[in-house]
Amino acid sequence: MGRSGSGKSTLLHVLGALDAPDSGEIEVGGTRIDTLSERDATVYRRTGVGVVFQRYNLLATMTAVENVELPGVLAGEKQSTLRPRAEKLLDELGLSDRAGHRPEAMSGGEQQRVAIARALLFEPPVLLADEPTGNLDSRTAEALWGLLARVAGDHDTTVVMVTHEPAAAAHCSRVLVVSDGLIADDFETEGLDAGGVASRAERALDA
Amino acid sequence: MRAAWRLARSALWTRKSRSALLAAAVTLSTALVAAVACAMGSVNAAVEDQLASQFGTAQARLRPAGTGKVIPFSVLEQARAWAGVERADGVRQTTSSVAFDATLFEQQQGGAWERVTRPLGSEALLTGYAAGDERLLATGLIAGRLPEAPGEIVIDALLAQRMTAAFIGEHLTRPAIELASVELPHLAQATPDLPERVGSDAEADRLNALVGPRPGDTLRSVRLFGRDIPLTVVGVSRPPPLGGRPQASALLATVDRLAGGERGLTEIALHLEDGTDAEAFVASERGGLPAGVLLQTTERITSGIERNLDSNKVGFIIASVLAFMSAAFIIMTGLTTGLAEQQRSLAVVRAIGATRGQLAIAQLLTGGVTGLTGALLGTPLGVLMAWTLLAVFRDCGPGGRRVPPVTLTVAVLGSVLAGLGGALWPAYRASRLRPIEAMATRASAISNRLLVGVGVAGLLGIGAMIAIVGGSDDGQFVFWGYATIGLPAMFIGYFLVSVPAAVLCGVLLGPVISRVLGLPRGLLTRVIRATPFRHGFTAGAMMAGLALMVSIWTNGGSVMRDWLGRIEFPDAFVSGLALSPEAQARIDALPFVNATAAITLHPVEVDFFGVRALQQYKTTFVAFEPTPFMEMAALTFVEGDEDTARARLEAGGAVIVAREFRVAQGLGLGDTFICRGADGVEHEFEIVGVVTSPGLELVSKFFNIGDEFIDQALHAVFGSRKDLRERFGSDAIQLIQVDLADDADDAEAIATIRRELFGAGILDAGSGRQIKQQILTFVGGSLVVFSAVAVGSMLVACFGVANLIVAGIHARRYELGVLRAIGGSRGLLVRLVAGEAIVIALAACVVGTCMGVQAAWAGQRLYETLIGIGDLRRVPPSDAILWGCVFVLSLTLLAAAPAAAWLNRRRPVELVAGCG
């Protein structure tokens, strides 16, 4: 969590090897991310981490199942092995009837669930979500947060989500508050509701 | 690779309409190139057929050393006895006036149609063969059979046509040489029994259409100075593939008799045994020949035309390269625009694990598929276009249908390479995409420095061409430098310059256009300024066709006005293979003739000259009697004076040259050079005068005197008949120059001359005015044909422009949606698109006109340095430029119309929501 420009998205980007830090070290699951070569960074983005962006970022030219398969295609896997996995993921996320639809035919919530399915194709240990509900209504957002929490448990995946919404943070087990590029607070949310999270975060940002 | 293919396939298939537009542009380019290849193949095949019918497959040939001479029959026997000779066939050629006494219907006073007998005739070239000569056996008959006995003759369809009722009197005014356009309906029916008279015009016309020579009919070889000789028609043959003059074939004995004079052969074809080296054979046997007989290999004889055919192929390849470069630029701009539109998507793909290579290969595959589609669709389309044209214009498509594999392969490969080449830059751009930057930005302003840099790079390319073409007077260097470096550099240079040109047009003309279209101030200029490369390269795509049109009309106009137009042809000419002094005397006796001068055209080789790797130019030694010729020709001396020149010419060893010769060779008054005749003996001549061109070299080509396909003599030296006799061993008269009375009518005079000389062995007659008019008509017609090619090129570009405009709209649909969302009307967006199209068109007009003028300048430099045609003024043709610009503007607006219509139908939310 953090205010605009605090560096929370930047943190996510360096965790996902989408950007390189100016200094320091980054380790994800025991792997040094900051020293990866271009090729290794690409493989890491493909299989070592899943990314869900704010603006769905599905390829408009592909169907839902093709979007989910895409990382596998990029890795050179055959469709015979990819398709069943992709369909299973879509089914798990309640989208089996949308498998053949293009993004333009889906709602915002559905598109975001497809993006989550794509991020889970290689069962990464970490899933990065950059304000995944920023473009959704509150009800759809609520459903998506619940989905992310379930996915974290079902797939044994650590979900790192950037958000400025306390309601979203309340679904997480741990909150890092970022301010001016530094971690201002780090607390667990057990026993806290959205209001409690918001108060705690506000105090950290005002300090 | 599979991943890259999946990305490429998805992009191509999902944006079907835009993919189709790009593919259409490449398809049309390929079709144009393939059509030209097939047309060229047809013409080249016709030339080869013509050569085969003229020269057969002999590897060596014996010819007389002088014009109008013959080879003794004994030489034929000598040649047959040579070791290494499998077969030797002799031919004799002569001219003859041939008449058919036709029974037909003629309308009398009072309107009645009565049966009469009239002689219908024409001059013809007769060739006599031995019975088994392959050239005789290869005669394509359309009726009857080959000659088997003396007195039998096969006439070609051109000659047969001139002896039909439809041609009564026509031969007196029509030139003898024409393309093959022959209908002979009378051959399909037997000679009808004709009544004494018929009552109606329709019936007379129907019966007259059946009048004409058929196998079995008797003709007369009309001899003005002797008795007519009867000839029996046994067959009618197809006209030669490329047309020409009326011809007939017979056995040697027949033609020998018709020719009269010294008996002998005009050529002996030698077929050598397998394994015999022709060059070595010629070298070993030529020494044993009698004086006045030459032995040559046929490569030496046909090498001229083969070089000419090769030069056509070089021209074709250069034109194809330009066509495909244009297509590659269209693809490059289209894919780059698509890349900008897909930037966010591609960034995501990078973010989820695509390598740089996969994105780059996806772009290359997209380009490659587009090019391959163009090749697969465009090649058969081009072949079909060519075949359709050849079927409609049978006269102009002489060689039948040809599918030349090599040049068609150029078309296919060029299309694929255009696709791949056009995808190189987008592939590089795609590979450099960094995920974060690509996702963060929507648009970035193009710096002025980049625009200036692109403009400078373009000017360097343009300057390189100017340096190459203007920096040397060596024709070889100029030609090859221009063809290989200068022309592509200029092309690429103007493409790059199109970018700042589009921006400047937007800045300078945007306010005016905005006012006219009712656009908010500054909006149009900002739109152009935001994506200058897209707008600039779109303008570049349109400029090529306009540049071509401007260039050809500038040069064509210069040639017609400043060169051809200035040549003063004498009043009239009569041509023949070997005209007699009696024929000249008969012309002299005509009341409207002031004077005549006998001229011989003799091919020689000189020490300099020509584009050595391409067309081989020889020089014509034009021999005349100095005093009568100079009185008639009214030459204007640029160097030297007439009296001195005349005296020196009479003395011998001297020539006068045309001004173009002086410009091309740098030789003038007082200079000497070596001339070699066909026998290789060298003779030195001094130039004693430089004159404005009398046009005799053009006249000789017009009358097709001599070996048209072999020697292209664009330049002439003018010497005395005395020198021709003494140094080159020839004195036959081939041309009689006629000075007509001031009040004589050209056409009537020519008709009278032909009528009076029918039977005197003339080949053709024509007035100077008529010759000049026909040459100008031919040049004008060529300009129209090339203009059609230019228009075709613009149409090709139209598809590319349509794609670019559509892609541009899609790339900006979010911004356009916002414009609508904040109050802009549908009409505003449509007018904005129209305004952009107008700016693009205006930039194309400016750049295209400049490129056309520069290309015209290059063309004139080639004329100056290669063939010495100087003093051409560069006057850009305002009409052609105006119409070309109107066409460009119309096509650009037309190309933008579908996209504008699509935009007009969209609601704001559709435009905004379409992004993401």
Average confidence (pLDDT) over B461-470: 94
Which residue in A37, A59, A101, A110 has the most chain B C-beta atoms within 10 A of its own C-beta, making it the best mutation to test that interface?
A: A59
Residue B467 pLDDT more than 90?
yes
Residue B437 pLDDT more than 80?
no
Beta strands B218-222 and B85-107, pairing class: antiparallel
Q: pLDDT value at position B612?
A: 44
At residue B231 the predicted structure's pLDDT band, cuts being 50, 70 and 90, is very high
* Nearest residue to B849 (alpha-carbon basis) of B548, B454, B648, B489: B548
CA distance B222 to B760: 8
- The number of beta carbons lying within 10 Å of the beta carbon of residue B680 is 10
Return the beta strands (E) in B357-464 as ranges.
Answer: none
Decide if B333 contacts B533 (C-beta within 8 A). Answer: yes
Q: Which residues of B touch A42 (CB under 8 A)?
A: 353-355
Residue B407 pLDDT more than 80?
no
**Residue B812 vs residues A14, A189, B251, B537, B684: alpha-carbon distances, Å:** 30, 44, 80, 17, 75
Structure tokens at B646: 């005349």
B356 in contact with A, Cβ within 8 Å: yes
CA distance B8 to B27: 19
Q: pLDDT value at position B916?
A: 39
Q: Which residues of A touch B14 (CB under 8 A)?
A: 60-61
User: What are the φ/ψ torsions at residue B699 (nearest 5 degrees)?
Assistant: -60, -40
Structure tokens at B819: 């414009």
Mean pLDDT for all residues in chain A: 86
CA B591 to chain centre: 42
State how far residue B803 is from chain A, nearest Cα, in angstroms.
18
pLDDT digits (tens, 9 = 90+) for B308-335: 666 666 667 667 777 787 778 778 877 8
CA distance B296 to B300: 7
State how far residue A193 is from chain B, nearest Cα, in angstroms.
33
Q: Bridge-partner residues for B317, per DSSP?
A: none
Average confidence (pLDDT) over B105-118: 83
Q: pLDDT value at position B25?
A: 82
CA distance B163 to B100: 6
CA distance B421 to B414: 10
Q: pLDDT value at position B413?
A: 87
CA distance B1 to B100: 77
Which residue in A10, A13, A37, A73 has the most chain B C-beta atoms within 10 A of its own C-beta, making it the best mutation to test that interface?
A: A73
Structure tokens at B366: 């997209």
Highest mean pLDDT: which range of B15-29, B429-443, B556-570: B15-29
Q: Which residues of A touch B348 (CB under 8 A)?
A: 53, 57-59
Helix (H), strand (E) at residue B271: strand B267-272
Structure tokens at B324: 């495909």
- The number of beta carbons lying within 10 Å of the beta carbon of residue B144 is 18
CA distance B476 to B151: 53
CA distance A108 to A136: 6
Helices (H), B746-825: 746-756, 768-811, 813-821
CA distance B815 to B474: 56
Q: pLDDT value at position B439?
A: 59
Residue B832 pLDDT more than 60?
yes
CA distance A66 to B345: 14
Q: pLDDT value at position B709?
A: 40
Q: pLDDT value at position B704?
A: 60
Residues of chain A where predicted confidence (pLDDT) is lower than 70: 56
Mean pLDDT for all residues in chain B: 81
State how far residue B874 is from chain A, nearest Cα, in angstroms.
53
CA distance A28 to A127: 11
User: What are the φ/ψ torsions at residue B268 (nearest 5 degrees)?
Assistant: -125, 120
CA distance B105 to B206: 10
Structure tokens at B174: 């029509």
pLDDT digits (tens, 9 = 90+) for B185-206: 888 888 878 888 888 888 888 8
Q: pLDDT value at position B299?
A: 64
Q: Select the more confidently predicted residue: B688 or B447.
A: B688
* Nearest residue to B336 (alpha-carbon basis) of B420, B258, B424: B424
CA distance B881 to B887: 10
Calculate what percentage of chain B has a pLDDT beyond 70.
85
Which of A32-46, B596-610, B653-667 is least confident? B596-610
pLDDT digits (tens, 9 = 90+) for B607-621: 654 444 444 456 778
- Scanning every residue of chain A, which has its alpha carbon at the shortest distance from the alpha carbon of B910? A104
- The number of beta carbons lying within 10 Å of the beta carbon of residue A5 is 10
At residue B152 the predicted structure's pLDDT band, cuts being 50, 70 and 90, is very high
Beta strands B712-720 and B617-624, pairing class: parallel
Residue B576 pLDDT more than 60?
yes
- Range 425-454 of B in CB contact (< 8 A) with A: 435-436, 439
Which residues lie closer than 8 Å to B170 by C-beta, 6 or more apart?
B162
Calculate what percentage of chain A has a pLDDT beyond 90.
16
Per-residue DSSP letter, B563 = I
State how far residue B516 is from chain A, nearest Cα, in angstroms.
38
End-to-end CA separation in angstroms for chain A: 15
Q: pLDDT value at position B286?
A: 81
Residue-wise DSSP of A122-186: T--SEEEEESTTTTS-HHHHHHHHHHHHHHHHHTT-EEEEE-S-HHHHHTSSEEEEEETTEEEEE
